Each structure stands twice: as C-alpha cells, then as structure tokens.
Structure 1
Amino acid sequence: MSIFRTKSVEQSLRDTEDPEHQLKKSLSWVELTMFGIGVVIGAGIFTMTGRVAHSMSGPSIIISFIIAAIACGLAAMCYAEFASTVPVAGSAYTFSYASMGEIFAWIIGWDLFLELFLASSVVAQGWSAYLAVFLSQLGIDLPPQIVSGGRFDLLAFGLIMVLGMLLIGGIKESVRVNTVLVAIKLFIVMFVIVAGIGYVKASNFTPFIPDKQPVESSGGLTQPLLQWFTGSQQTAFGVSGIVAGAALVFFAYIGFDVVATTAEEAKNPKRDVPMGILGSLVVCTILYIAISLVLIGMVPYNQLDPSASLAKAFTTVGKPWMAIIISAGAVAGLTTVVLTMMIGATRVIFAMSRDGLLPEGLSHVHPKTRTPYRITLIIMLADGLLAALVPPGILDEMVNIGTLLAFVMVSIGIIVLRRKRPDLPRAFRVPWVPVIPIISAIICLYLMLNLSIETWMRFLIWMVIGIVVYFTYSKNHSRLAHGSELTADINAEITNVMDHQYDTRRKARRAAAQSGATASPEAAEPEPTATESTDPPKES
C-alpha cells in the first residue's frame, strides 16, 4: 500500500453526494466574500498597523501592505484554482490528496487542524480581553479571574460554546450571523476612517521612508530561525524595513484560505469560491491601506502607541470617545474570526474522517441541519477548554507556521496537478504557471524561516506525533487502502453499467428496425415484454 497514492478528483466529487456525508449547498459568492472578510479583518486592523509603522516601516507601511497583498494574492490564486477544480470540503488537505498523494494530504490535514483549532482558541482569548476593556470603558468591571489571563477565562469559553451551538444549527444560519457581524465591523472601520480623515496632516508622511536603524535582536530560542542560521543583524526602517514590515503585516491577511474549506457548501463553487477568496483579499487590502493613511496622517509614526495606536491617536486629537467605538469594532471583528476558524477546523476534520484517515463515524452529518455535528461538539469542547485554561501568547506563532506550510503545499500542488491532469476543467486558472506558484512557495518558505526557533520546535513535535498517528492508524484505515467507496460511489458505478447496457439494447433495436424492410416478419425484434422496459434503468 503506497503512501503516495492519490485520490482522483472524480472520486472526491462523488463523495460529496453520499447521503450520510452530504453537506448542504447554500452559500453564495457574497456570503463567501463576507466570510473571508470576517476572518481576515480582526482586531489587528486597529493595532498591528500602528505597531509595525512605529517600530519597523514608518509611513512606508503603506508599501509594506501592498507588497504583502501581492505576495498573499499569489497564494490566493492557487487556492482559487484548486477550489474551482476540486470544490470539496477540506481546502489544502483535499487539494494535496488529489495532486501529491496521501502522506502529503495527511501532513497538511494534520497541520491545518493545528492551525484552525489553535487559531479559534487564541482569537477567543483576544476577544475576551477586548470585551473586558470595552465593558470597563462603559463602567462595568469584571473579576480578573474570569477574563483573559485569569484562572479560567469564562468569557472565551462562553463565546466558543455559543458559536459551537450556532454551527450545529446549520451553515446558512452561521453565515447569516457572520454576515451581520461583518457588516457591523465594516461600518465601524469605515466610520473610523471617515472620522480620522479630517485630522490628517501631510507633514506626518515626511520622511516617507525613514533612514535605516539597527534593532536589538532577541537571542536563544525566541530569535528567528533564519537569523540564527545566518547570524544576520536585524534592521528597521529604510528599504529593508519595508520588506520586514511586509513580512509582519502578511499575517494580517491570513484567513482567506478558510473560504476554500466551505467549497462543498457553495451553490456554484466553481464561480463563487474564487470570487469569495479574491474578493475578500481585495476588500481587506483597501481597508488596511486606508487605515494606515489615516493613522499615520493623524499622528507622526514615532509618536504612535504600539499597544493601542488607533485609540490613542483619537485621544491625541481630542476624541477619546472613539476608543469605545474601536473596542466595539474589535469585539465584533474577533467574533467573526472565531466563528470562521471553527467552521474551517470542522470541515477539515470532516474531510479527513470521510476518507477514513480519522474515524469515519465523525463525518456523519445531522439528518436535518446537514452539519457535521459530532466533530463540531468535539471541537467546541476542546477549543473552549484550551482558550479558558492556557495562558495567552503561548501558541500564537503556531497558527502562522501552520498556515504558511499549507500555502507552500497548495502552490506546489498547482504545478503537480497541471502536469498530472491537464484535462480537468478549471473555471479559474493561475496565470504563468509554474512561475507564480514557485514565487508563492518561496515567499511563504521565507516567512516560515523568520519565525522563532521555539515555534519550529513545537511545530516539528506536532508533525512527529502526526506521522506516528498516520502509520499506526490512518494508513491502514484509509478508504483508498481498502479500495472501498461510499454509497454514492457504488451507486454511480451501478448506474453507469446499467446505462451502458440500456444504450447497447437501444442500438440493437434501432439497427433491427432499419433492416426491417428486407427482413422477414419472423426475424423482426419482438416487442419489449414486462421484464424488459424501454425506459432507461433507474438507480436503486
């Protein structure tokens, strides 16, 4: 049994029709775009911009955002092509299974589970912190034991429980709630932009690219892997600061890939999913640049508060009440991120379970809501406990390294599948293959190398655990290993055979009818009997 066996695109598509594993197709391109915006735009739009501008790029952070958007757009195009070609739940896991083989699919699936599972917990902790600040601004102080950093983060736990029950209730209902929250978030972001335009000063953009300065580097396990390997000295500002800033703000775009996990639930996935992925990326880029222009224009970059830059900027110009609105926007923004990450995690595990790499019973869907309720319950409880008990800040970078590895594998997978299956219909095609996928993979690898040694060590330990699970369980229980197919696969094969038999009989009757003028009446074909219908056979 080869660990490099691939699952055909045709079989992946047939699996989506199996009654016990069939998800409800109800999402439009507008909802998918809002879905992507909901996960990309979080609290970072209010904090990351000021932090990077203050310490790394200065006013040229605008260029950093553009560079990061272009780099992220390369990976987004690869996701869009795969999602339009293989519109099946699982995102990069499913794409890798179709292009590179089972072992790579398992590695990516295991990696995505880590990314999405941890992301929802980490962001829930941030949501708890922002909610506590927001309530404090309204004069409501909560006990420190039940908020972020306390003994048991009850706010984060409660959020995940509520969102988990919403997910079990149905994907359409979940996306409706997400759409409402995203609309609120976008309104607050636009309000902040419009309110700040009147305080913009052109002099604050000079110098646009500040002179390069050395930066005190961290040492030990917290230093970037590339810095440890090359012994290089990190610098800020200047051209190198723009590039370093782009590497930092790149993570502000992470999340659009989660749209691909819902491809199986889109009404017209070949059109809607690429539009959702690329549309959300374009909208988010415009908003990031607009916020950067307003923030830098209001306060000189070297006077920004790295921890609460936007709120402090409005306080500086005599509008402290704007801090309450910004906190409300952060709460709404992070709610949609947690919801979207939980959806992504459940769909990846659903796809792996349906393929037999994880216990198949997990992938059964609820007969009424058509959602993977068993997986959702498990994710909900585990996520809630992780968010409530693990101290904030420990697992943040683990999310980034998992996402970047998925980007690398999807970029390479585009090249592989183009060569293996050039015949497949592709509603969206990445231009200039293999150049663009190769550039995308190199950029993501570079960003991975800029993560800390400590993050790499944790990630490798997680991967080793995954390899052990694969060879002890998944390899032997894989449906490809046994040649087993879901009900839909078997029914499809039976229907194909019966249709072929029907076509053969019909051609024979037609040939006999054409030769009837010269043939004797006794040689003519008898009329169909009750046991031989002229209608095509029905699928059992």
Structure 2
Amino acid sequence: MTDTLVHRMFRKSIPADALTTADTPSGDPATQVHLRRSITTFQLTMIGVGGTIGTGIFFILSEAVPEAGPAVIGSFLLAAIVAGLTVLCYAELASTIPSSGSSYSYSYATLGEAVAFVVGACLVLEYGVSAAAVAVGWSEYLNLLLEGTIGWHFPDALSLAPDSGGVINLPAMILVALCVLLLLRGASESARANAIMVIIKISVLVLFITVGLTGFQADHFSQFAPFGFAGVSIATGSIFFSFIGLDAIATAGEEVHNPKKSIPIALMASLAVVTVVYLLVAFVAVGAQPWGEFEGQKAGLATILENITGSSWPGLLLAAGAVISIFSVTLICLYGQTRILFAMGRDGLIPPVFARIDRRTQTPMTNTIIVGVVVAVLAGVVPLGILADLTSIGTLVAFSLVSVGVIVLRRTAPDLPRGFKVPGYPVTPVLSVLACAYVISGLGSVTLIAFVIWAGAALVFYFSWSIKHSVLETLAAGPPLDLTDRMPPQEKS
C-alpha cells in the first residue's frame, strides 16, 4: 500500500502540451485543445521585461540603499547573477518542455506529481498574490497622477483597504478588471499591449537617468560600503525579488512561435535589459542624492528629479510611468497565473474548468475570469501583509526545483532533444540551488512558518482530490509512456 502511494506521488508526466482529448477521463475537447502560438520572440522578451520592471525599481532604493549604502550597486549585480543562474536552468527546461505550466510542468516531468503540485501552489503565491499587491500600489500612483493633473483623486474610503482606514480599494479592482478584459481578447493582443507599455516605462526610466546625471556628484560614492559585505548581502535579499518576473516567459511556452529557440533568447535578453536598467538607475540615483537621504523616502525617483530640476513635473511624469508600469506587471502576473492553472487543470490536478478554453480566442476564458475575481477581491478588501512575503519564498522554492530538475532530466532522459543546454553543467544548477537557499535563509521565521502551512494545505488538497483525478491515474493501467513518445510532432527534432 505504501509503495503504491509513493509510486503515485512521484510518478512523472509527459510534457503538458502533448496531452490530447483521448488522455482525459471526460473526453471533452473543450478542455484539451492547445493554445494558439501567436507570440513573437520580441513580444515574449517584453513579457519578461514587463513582468520584472515594475513597482520594485520605483521604491526599492529607499529600502536597499540604507542597508548597503552606495554599494547597493553591487547588490543589484549580485542579485542579477543569482537570477542569471536560474534563468540558464529555465532556458534549458523551457526549450525541452515548452509548456504553459512553467516550473510546475518541469517539476512534473522530472521530480514527480506531488512535488509538482507543491510547486504549482508556490506559483499561485508568486502570481496571484503578487498581482493583488501590485494592484494596490497602482492605486496610490493613480491618485498622485490624478491629483496633479485634474485636481481630483479617489477618496480614501474608495482607494484604501479596510485595514488602512478605507472601505474598498476601487482603483485596484478596476485595474484587475481591465487586465482581465485585455487577456480575454487573446494572448497576442495582450502581448502587443504589454510591449507598448514596456517601451513607455523604459523611456521614463531613461529620462530619469538622463536628467539625474545632470545632478551627479562623485563624492556621494566616497563611503562606498559603510556596512561591508554584510550590508550588500542583506540588500541583495531585498533587491532579488525585483527579478522574479522573468519566470513569466516560461508560462508562454505553448503560445510562442518556435519555443525551443524563442524562450532561451527571451530569457537572456530580458535579464540583460532588466540588469542594465536597474544598475543605471541605482548608479544615477546614488550619484544624485547622498545615500543617507534614501531611508523612508517615498516616491524616491520623483523626489530626486524634483530636487535637481526645482520643478514638480518630474513627479507627475514618474507617477505616469509608474501607472503604466504597474498595469503591465499586473497584466503579466494574471497571464502567468491563468496559464499555470490551465496546465494543472489539464493534468487533472485541479478541477477541469481551469483547462477549458474558448474556441474562438483559444484562451482559458473561464479560468481568467475566476482568477480575476479572486485577485480583485484580494486587492480590494483583504490586507495582504505576510502574503506579500510569501510571494518571495514561493518564487525561490520554484526556482530551486527548476535547477534540480535540470540535473534530474539530464540523468533520466539524456537523449531528449534540447534547444538550449546550461553552460557549466552541473556546477551552474548546483550554484543556482545554493544561491536560492541563501536568499531564503534571510527571510523571516514568520514567513517560513506561513509557507510551511501553505504547502501543507496544498498537500492536503492533493491527497484528498488531485491524486484521484490525475490524468496519469487513468493511464496507470496502460503501458508505460516514454517522455519523448509524447512530444508533439512540431517539437520533435
């Protein structure tokens, strides 16, 4: 009995995008058709940039600079290296198993069903909860922009959650609704809109860099590392989470043209763009303002420009950039969440309604609406608190298991066609795991306990429902399936 249970827990799946109608108990074609490949490599790169450059760069300096001083530049670089190690592992698995499930699907194919389900639960934290948190931040910037342009803003009762003295955060809920409507139109339409927003927000940050250089003073770097490497390390933990949006690229595995080549290119290009923008913004910000003035500073980038120019227009411009930036991040978070739930629903681990797609747009319409409603409620009325921190640990656990998956798949399926291979194997994936573990070790004990409770709840659902409804459960009586046998024709090489 125990052996049978263990076998069911660690059974491995075929790539999710190879499933067909015949593989499901229901036989309902509406739940098992494929998503449309309509996203270009450029649009995919913009998904990564759009999901990464968001609220973080607009406020992270006020938290990270007091921890590291001018050496915060080294913190950004160290965070980029950690993210880069993980990106290399993502690139190999994404080019091998192009699926909407991202690290969930990779874990399912390499580490087994129970592990994959926990990873899926981690990704719910990464995308669903973070989308709600980001939407709340959008409300603040929107009010700042409205007040500065038309002299009106949403009253506190309609723009703050109950824990902050309001009744409901209406702007945050409106943002989620707008993103859902855009996603329902189709993946390519959402990708095009996101690409436009990414270009706009990068332009705003380039303007900050250009204007900020006019107030640059080299002596601001004279006391470069006042807290030594310990300070750099602490700041890295804060900054790392400004890179987590790169995972969203992998969730488009079934909707991008030629994923074996496009996904690795988009991952590398996104990381390069994000790293360069972050380093330049940090360098210019510290050069334009003494590092001791960052602590507790709100709308820091806008304040720096206002001090340099003596005018209020930079604040409005940065607010406009933040409004566009956060819209883009929320859109990508919701997109990633729906695609991961789609993959899990198609595998039978959550109710099949999440895998039902619209025949016209070939998008998971019902799934998107459900996610939108839940995220809107979270953003509108629920205090997020510890859930925001859970976003970080959920992401890091998923990142770690992706790196482990690279090692496992190299050993179990060495001949599987790979569009990209991790350089420096096996050192690179091992370093990735160690780096993620190092960042996790810096998180608070409350966050770690809450995560254990969340993972435990996920396993309760898995053992009580998912393990019985898994697609692999219905195939257990048939002959064993080889991973390569289930690859769709266009993905074989």
- Compute the TM-score of the two structures, normalised by the length of structure 1: 0.82
What is the CA–CA distance in structure 1 between the aligned matches of 2:222 and 2:63, rounded to whole Å?
A: 18
Which structure 1 segments of 5+ residues have no match? 211-236, 497-540
Question: What is the aligned counterpart of 1:112 among 101, 123, 126?
Answer: 123
* Counterpart among 255, 275, 279 of residue 265 in structure 1: 255
Task: Specify which of 282, 301, 314 is matched with residue 310 of structure 1.
Answer: 301
Q: 2: CA distance between counterparts of 1:428 and 1:383? A: 35
Q: Which residue of 2 aligns with 1:167?
A: 183
Q: Measure how far apart 1:484 and its partner are.
A: 7.7
Correspondence for 2:491: none
Give the SS at the match of 2:173.
Answer: helix
Residues 22-44 of structure 1 show CA distances to partners (whole Å, capped at 9, x for unaligned) of 10101111101111110100122
Q: Work out which of the residue numbers 141, 147, 160 in structure 2 matches 1:148.
A: 160
Output one character per residue of 1:245-273: Cα deviation in whole Å (capped at 9) or x when no partner: 22221111111011101111011100111
Amino acid at match of 1:347: R
Which residue pairs with 1:28 in the alignment?
40
- Tell me if structure 2 keeps the 8 A contact 1:13–1:87: yes
Q: Is the 8 A contact 1:60 1:209 kept in 2?
A: yes
Query: Rg: which structure is higher?
Result: 1
Between the aligned partners of 1:176 and 1:493, the Cα distance in structure 2 is: 35
Describe the shift of the 1:132–1:484 C-alpha distance in structure 2 as closer, same or farther (beyond 3 A): farther
1:314 corresponds to which letter in structure 2?
L
| Alpha-carbon separation, structure 1, partners of 2:39 and 2:58 | 29
**Count of aligned positions:** 461
Report whether the alignment pairs 1:338 with 2:330: yes
Q: Counterpart of 1:4?
A: 10
Whole-angstrom CA distance in 1 between matches of 2:181 and 2:313: 35
Of 101, 108, 112 in structure 2, the residue corresponding to residue 101 of structure 1 is: 112
* Letter in structure 2 aligned against 1:271: K
Deviation at 1:197, TM superposition (A): 1.1
CA shift in 2, pair 1:295/1:482, >3 Å? same
Pairing of 1:300-449 with structure 2 (within 5 A): 300-305=290-295, 306-317=297-308, 318-449=310-441
**Matches of 1:320 and 1:121 in 2, distance apart?**
30
Root mean square deviation of aligned Cα: 2.0
The structural deviation recorded for 1:391 is 2.4
TM-score (norm 2): 0.90
Q: 1:314 & 1:418 partners in 2: Cα distance?
A: 50
Alignment equivalent of 1:127, drawn from 138, 146, 161? 138
- Asked if structure 1 preserves the Cα contact closer than 8 Å seen for 2:386 and 2:447, the reply is no
Structure 2 Cα separation of the partners of residues 43 and 360 of structure 1 = 34
Q: CA 1:16/1:36 → structure 2, altered by over 3 Å: closer, same or farther?
A: farther
Mapped contact 1:100–1:416 kept (Cα < 8 A): yes
Q: 1:291-336: per-residue Cα shift (whole Å, max 9, x none)? A: 0111111111112353332222123222332111111111111111
**Is 1:185 equivalent to 2:196 in the alignment?**
no
Change (3 A) 1:148 1:278: farther
Indicate if the aligned counterparts of 1:84 and 1:427 stay in contact, CA closer than 8 A: yes
The answer on whether the counterparts of 1:21 and 1:363 sit within 8 Å (CA) in structure 2 is no
Task: Give the Cα–Cα distance (whole angstroms) in 2 for the partners of residues 433 and 82 of structure 1.
Answer: 13
SS of 1:264 mapped into structure 2 = coil
**How far 1:460 sits from its partner (Å)?**
1.5
Structure 1 Cα separation of the partners of residues 153 and 245 of structure 2: 32
Cα separation, 2, equivalents of 1:99 and 1:147 = 45
Runs of 4+ displaced beyond 3 Å = 16-20
Residue 223 of structure 2 corresponds to 207
2:191 is matched by which residue type in structure 1? V
Which SS does the other structure have where 2:361 is aligned?
A: coil
The alpha carbon displacement at 1:46 in A equals 2.2
User: Contact 1:412–1:437 at 8 Å: present in 2 too?
Assistant: yes
Partner of 1:510: none
Q: Distance in 2 between matches of 1:394 and 1:246?
A: 20
Choose 91-100 or 458-467, whichever is displaced more: 458-467
